[in-house]
Structure 1
C-alpha cells in the first residue's frame, strides 16, 4: 500500500482578526469596550475620546488646541466633541474667571455612568485592617479553696453602639482653568504712501507666491490684508526677488495656516531701509553736470574735481 499524502491542512484557517498582544508596562490608557465598540459613536468620536483620556490633567482640549495636534479639520473635531457630549463621555461648561474672561471647562469621563452621576469617580483609600487581639497570658494556678457565698452581681447595662464616623469622600479634582493671557501680535507694517501702483505690485507678488510654493495659495481676503505690509517692504528699497525669497524660504511641512506664517515673516523680518537715522543713511548717487561721472551728494550738481576746477578757473 502506498504512503497516504496530506493534501489539505489539519485545520481550517480563520477568516477573522487574529490578535497579537504585548503587555504594556508604561505609557498606556485603559479604554472600555463600551467606547471602542459603541454602536452609535463615529470612529472619529471614539478616537478623539481615547486621545483625550490619554492626555495628562490640565491639558488643553479646545478645538483650536486639538487642530494643532491632530490632522483633522475644525469641523470634524467639533462634530466629534458634540457626539461625546451627547453620549456622556464629555461635559463642557463655560465659566467666567477672575480676570473677567469666559473660559470653557472640559471634564472627560471614562464611563458614561460617571457622567450620569454628575461627578467624577474618586478613588477611595481602603480602611486599614484592625490588628489582631493578643491572647492574655494565663496566670499560675492557685490552690483550690471552697468558694465563699457571694451576692448575685447586678446585671451590666447593655453597651451602647458607638457612632461610626462618616466615610471620607474625596472631592473630584478639577482641571485648572488657564488664566495667562497671550500678548497681542505686533501690528502689521504699513506703507507711508500707499499709491495704487505700489499696492497693485504688492498684491501681484502675493498672488504669484503659489507658483513657487503650492501651500502658499491665499484667499482674496488674505491678499488684501497682507498687501500693505508688502508695500511697506517696497518702500524700504526691498526688491520683489528679496521679498519673495524671505516669504518662501524654509517653509514648514505641513503648512496649515499660510496667511499667519506670512504675517509673522512680514513683521519679524521687516528690513531697515529708510527707517535708519539720517546720520547713517547713504547719500544718493548723482551724475556730475560737468564730467557726467557718478558721485554721492544730497542734491544734483558738480563732483568734487569739477567744482575745484571751476573755482580755480574763476580765480584765474
Structure 2
C-alpha cells in the first residue's frame, strides 16, 4: 500500500535551444562603389573556379554570389569569411593575376556633374589582359555560344504550347526558321513574335505551317535604328600602388615597377637620343668635328 501511494518524480520539461539568429546580410559599399560584375558572364557551374587553390576558389565563389554594389574590400571580406586580412589580400591579388578581378575607376554621369567613382570589377570567367583592355575602352565583344538549335527553331518548336492549333513538325520548323531569324535581326522579341503569330487565330486552322508563314511575311516589322554607341570613360589602376595606367602597362593588374620590371621610358622614333643622353651625344659630335684650318680645301 505504501508503494502504491508514492508519486513519480516530476519530469523537467524539454526546452528547445534558442534558434541561431539569421546571418546578417553582407554590407554594401557607398553608393556608386563596390563590386561590379563584368558583362557577358557564362552560366554558373561547378567547374567555375576549379583552376584555383581551395582558399582562392572559396573566396571567389563568395564574391561571385554577392550582388553588385557589395563591399568587397579586404576588411569587409575578412569579417564575413574565416580568413584574416592578409590571406584575403593575397587571394585578391591571385584572383587579379588569374583574370577574375580588376580595380579601377569609371566616370558616372548625373544630371548635374560627372563623377569618377572607384570600381572593383569581377568576372566569373577568367579573362586575359586583351579582354580587360577592351573592357576598359567599352568595346567588349559578346562571346558567341553555339547552341544545339537556333533561337528561331526553339521558338517555332514551342509554338504549340502557346497555341495548340499551331503545332509544327520538325520539317516545318526548319523551313520557317529563316523568316523568324529575320524578325530577330530586326530587333523583335519573342513576346512580339508570339503575339503576331497567335493573336486572332481563325477557327479551325487547316494548315498551321502555311498560316505561320503568311503571318511572318505580312507582319514583318521594319528595321529598327541601331542606338549610337555610348563612349565609356573608364580607367584601370595598379592593385598595389594604385597608380593609374593604360591596360597595356598593367599586365596582370600590376604596373611595371610593382612587377619588378623597369618601365620603358624611351620617347621618339627608333634611334632618337633620349633626354638624359643629349649632352653626351653633343660632346661626341663636337669631338668629331675637324678644325677649320685642317679641313681640306674644296675647289668651286
TM-score tier (shorter): under 0.3
Largest Rg, 1 or 2? 1
| Larger relative contact order (Cα-Cα within 8 Å, sequence gap ≥ 6) | 2
TM-score normalized with structure 1 length:
0.27
TM-score (norm 2): 0.28
